[in-house]
Amino acid sequence: MTHRADNQLFDAYFTAPAMREVFSDHGRLQGMLDFEAALARAEASVGLVPHTAVPAIEAACKAERYDTRALAEAIATAGNSAIPLVKALGKVVASGVPEAERYVHLGATSQDAMDTGLVLQLRDALDLVEADLVKLADTLARQALQHADTPMVGRTWLQHATPVTLGMKLAGVLGALTRHRQRLKELRPRLLCLQFGGASGSLAALGSKALPVAEALAEQLKLSLPEQPWHTHRDRLVEFASVLGLVAGSLGKFGRDVSLLMQTEAGELFEPSAPGKGGSSTMPHKRNPVGAAVLIGAATRVPGLIATLFSAMPQEHERSLGLWHAEWETLPDICCLVSGALRQAQVIAEGMQVDAERMRRNLDLTQGLVLAEAVSIVLAQRLGRDRAHHLLEQCCQRAVAEQRHLRAVLGDEPQVSAELSAEELDRLLDPAHYLGQARVWVARAVADHQRLTA
């Protein structure tokens, strides 16, 4: 009987339930047991195992038949999860069909079961991540198109720069997700491959049947057959983790921007509200960016976990001591963190509340200074770059010192009025007329997303 431990206190916040199920104790056991069942079928197909033994082995390869607490205690002595599991599997098989027990785990080693079981879990995890990325990208594409012309302050070095649009900002996140989806698509065939090498990777125990068994086993599990076993060559797993790190980083950037825009001083964009969401234990007025916190938290934690996997790559000879062990919880943790960030990002993107009027007011906080570049560019063509830049710099300083709008200061400056009419100045100091290629960037990002999705 399987005993499932309660989820961690923070799981509901940081991890998507479907991903936690993939990497639950049940999921880990079932991955290894799926390997064992497929191994029996593969070996039967080439005559190494009698077909009559296969049903008994398959029937025993159900995770719910095993006591995870007992296995956990045994792991402390055995050194990995496959050794006690295979022993328990043999006992279950023997209790039903004693003569079938001798064919359990034939020619395989513990790491074969654990690594291939992990790959089967990662296939499910990859499916979940890709589906969530598509869903989030669809939502961002829709929001980017809706707000393609919603002007807001662009910020560089955390200071007001020139105008951008909310759609352009969202399209930047969308473009990053499209690239991550491309990376995951490219690595999928490299990641989803069989691990089957026996004691030292040579499969000597299976003699001339080794390669036929390996081919049949890969076919049974719908995995590719690599050029050779990869017990101590972990680049496939680290590549996957690295791309998940990129996903986490891009989601963290999204969360960071959302949290900054939610600041009281900005107040331009908000996470969707819900009863009890984002409140404070003492301050009734608070509306905290609790979803963005998950995105930022994952982007902060995942790089360190990836560093662990990179550190574990120089594994000794044909089987590793300790470095392989360092992977066991690390890669699942990365998958779980990214899943939670994707879930929270979807909630934010789908229900974001946009205060376009506040955006417009914030654009005018500097009283026209954010559009000084627009005037300077036009004047440069008539007065020369250095002279125009110096002139605008003086006008900006005067506007700040006198607490006047830049439009009024420019209108009073003879050198400016001699070159630009009142109508030209009004147009140049209208944020809606200085959005550059913002709409084009939105269209291009959405088109790239749609091409990949089609």
Dist CA 376 CA 393 (whole Å): 9
Which residue range forms the structural domain that includes residue 419? 369-428
Taking alpha carbons only, the member of 169, 163, 175 closest to residue 143 is 169
Residues 217 and 245 in one domain: no
Indicate the residue type of 13.
Y
pLDDT of residue 222: 98
319 is catalytic: yes
Domain membership flag for residue 298: yes
> From the candidates 155, 256, 319, 404, which is the catalytic residue?
319
**Farthest CA pair distance, the chain:** 103
Span between the terminal Cα atoms of the chain, in Å: 45
pLDDT of residue 167: 98
Which tokens go with 199? 């004691």
Domain membership flag for residue 236: yes
Residues 183 and 135 in one domain: yes
Residues 100 and 132 in one domain: no
Dist CA 334 CA 312 (whole Å): 15
pLDDT of residue 11: 86
Residues 49 and 82 in one domain: yes
Residues 356 and 390 in one domain: no
280 is catalytic: yes
CATH label of the domain that carries residue 400: 1.10.40.30
pLDDT of residue 1: 40
pLDDT tens per residue, range 321-380: 999 999 999 999 999 999 999 999 999 999 999 999 999 999 999 999 999 999 999 999
The answer to whether the CB of 410 falls within 8 A of the CB of 416 is yes
Taking alpha carbons only, the member of 270, 268, 439, 440 closest to residue 363 is 268
Residues 270 and 382 in one domain: no
Place of tokens 């147009």: 427
> From the candidates 95, 200, 202, 280, which is the catalytic residue?
280
Residues in the chain with pLDDT < 70? 1-7, 274-286
Which tokens go with 291? 């979803």
Domain membership flag for residue 198: no
The answer to whether the CB of 323 falls within 8 A of the CB of 312 is yes
Dist CA 291 CA 270 (whole Å): 10
pLDDT of residue 3: 42
- Residue-wise over 6-15: b if at least 16 C-beta within 10 A, else e? eeeeeeeebb
Residues 129 and 174 in one domain: yes
Domain membership flag for residue 161: yes
Residues 186 and 238 in one domain: yes
Q: In the predicted model, what is the mean pLDDT of the chain?
A: 94
pLDDT of residue 411: 94
CATH label of the domain that carries residue 285: 1.20.200.10
pLDDT tens per residue, range 24-68: 999 999 999 999 999 999 999 999 999 999 999 999 999 999 999
Domain membership flag for residue 113: no
Domain membership flag for residue 199: no
Domain membership flag for residue 200: no
Place of tokens 């990365």: 334
Domain membership flag for residue 152: yes
The contacts of residue 318 (CB under 8 Å, 6+ apart) are 200, 201, 231, 232
The total domain count for the chain is 3
Residues 26 and 50 in one domain: yes
Residues 393 and 269 in one domain: no
Residues 184 and 325 in one domain: yes
Its sign, for the CA torsion 128, 132, 135, 141, is negative
Give how far the C-alpha of residue 406 lies from the chain's centroid of Cα atoms, to the nearest Å: 44
Residues 290 and 340 in one domain: yes
